[in-house]
Amino acid sequence: AQTVTQSQPEMSVQEAETVTLSCTYDTSESDYYLFWYKQPPSRQMILVIRQEAYKQQNATENRFSVNFQKAAKSFSLKISDSQLGDAAMYFCAPRGGGSNYKLTFGKGTLLTVNP
Amino acid sequence: DAGVIQSPRHEVTEMGQEVTLRCKPISGHDYLFWYRQTMMRGLELLIYFNNNVPIDDSGMPEDRFSAKMPNASFSTLKIQPSEPRDSAVYFCASSLSQGLQETQYFGPGTRLLVL
């Protein structure tokens, strides 16, 4: 079974600044996948970024990037040039490899963006 | 693509009534997932299907909950009889098993309130 820890229940950032959200996880699998989802007040779950554990290169999607440390089982999300629309709850979610399609979600980090 | 469609978006019912939540996955996707989100338990997977067949229902809380997928474009989650503790947001998600790159895309959710 996988466990996920998001140690920051809440974070705040000034508009245009950079913020990093932390996530650690525990898994016994060697091949797995990691996702960050955001949930704005509308409650829609939106994929932010994904990382394959077998890839050493950190994933990037425009202003969003990850710092993936496989040995430390750490998967942090960096948001650069923060925008008001980035305000949301952010969830870290690992998924097992092979035929294991279950996502395990952390408790989430509520990000506030201050103008 | 229209994305994952869920209905109804909001449901208010009285304890003891039957509740049916509906989901239409993204066309061509072969995996379908039902999640429940509450303040106490966060996001938890209830059940998922592959090619209309239930693969893992270990997250279904009790016999009052049942899920079906009669065809590739439709799934239901039924609660009978409903109880106040079933109040939550229920999400449906779908994905495509395309190599190891699958990503789960979520519907807008159904907010259920059981009085």
Chain A positions touching B97 (Cβ under 8 A) are 101
| Residue B95 to residue B28: CA distance in whole angstroms | 9
In this predicted model, what pLDDT tens digit does every residue of B71-85 receive, in sequence order?
Answer: 999 999 999 999 999
B21 contact partners, CB below 8 Å, separation of at least 6:
B6, B7, B8, B11, B76, B77, B78, B79, B90, B92, B110, B112
**B84 strand-pairing partners:** none
> Token digits for A88?
């949301």
Q: Is it true that the peptide bond before B61 is cis, omega within 30 degrees of 0?
A: no
In this predicted model, what pLDDT tens digit does every residue of A80-106 receive, in sequence order?
Answer: 999 999 999 999 999 877 677 788 999
Average pLDDT over residues B85-104: 84
Chain A positions touching B55 (Cβ under 8 A) are 101
**Who among B91, B97, B111 is closest to A45 (CB)?**
B91
Q: Which of B26, B100, B102 to mutate to test the interface with A (most CBs of A within 10 A)?
A: B100
Q: Compare all CA atoms of chain B with the CA of A108 and give the residue at the minimum distance.
A: B42
